[in-house]
Structure 1
Amino acid sequence: MPDPAHPTDASPSATGATGGTEVSFPDIAGMRYEDAREELVSIVSRLETGQAPLEDSMQLWRRGEALAAHCSRWLDDAQTEIEQATRPAPAAALHADDEIFDES
């Protein structure tokens, strides 16, 4: 796992037409939930020690925020998928004459 304090291919790029800064870590987009969460836990632990220099702490914090947002999207998408899969069919879509099961 790369060192989040000194990323190589994950250097943040500042963008923003409105004057704001949006930090982007392209390597996070393809991460599995478990990997992103594991790295986030590691970053939080490092930040909690208070031993990293300020610049490194800010880089860790930015990456942690991006990882947290990524994990949140994963969970939101999973919840939506589960809700859609378990949602009962609307009553109007089924009629008494409809065959629900194929008994052939």
Structure 2
Amino acid sequence: MTEKTTNGVDELSFEQAMQELEILVRRLEEGRLPLEEAIQAYERGTLLKNHCETKLQAAKLRVDQVVLTGPGGASLAPFDAE
């Protein structure tokens, strides 16, 4: 596996990871990659997908709002735009 395939995912922004993932998916769908490159692309894609899911979960938690439940109490509630 090349260094690019195994390293650097954690440093990518959500947008960068999604862009790279889209490119990898497109290349895999074309079906013209040699087997070893296809396997590496799939492995890298899995890392990128997991990274994006982690970033989305973190963003969701940031959007959740604190709701006061009484004197000294608080809880998290999903963000409600309405």
Asked if Structure 1 and Structure 2 have the same fold, meaning a TM-score greater than 0.5 normalized by the shorter chain, the answer is yes
What corresponds to 1:45 in structure 2? 26
Q: Name the CA distance, whole Å, in 1 between partners of 2:11 and 2:46.
A: 16
Q: Structure 1: which 4+ aligned runs deviate by more than 3 Å?
A: none
Indicate the structure with greater helix content: 2
For normalisation by structure 1, the TM-score amounts to: 0.64
Structure 1 residue 56 corresponds to structure 2 residue 50: no
Indicate the structure with greater strand content: 2
Q: Name the CA distance, whole Å, in 2 between partners of 1:10 and 1:42.
A: 14
For normalisation by structure 2, the TM-score amounts to: 0.79
Which one of 75, 83, 86 corresponds to residue 56 of structure 2?
75
Secondary structure of 1:88's counterpart equals strand
Q: What RMSD in Å do the two structures reach over aligned CA positions?
A: 1.8
Q: Name the CA distance, whole Å, in 1 between partners of 2:35 and 2:71.
A: 61
What corresponds to 1:32 in structure 2? 13
Gaps of 5+ in 2: 74-82
Structure 1 residue 88 corresponds to structure 2 residue 67: yes
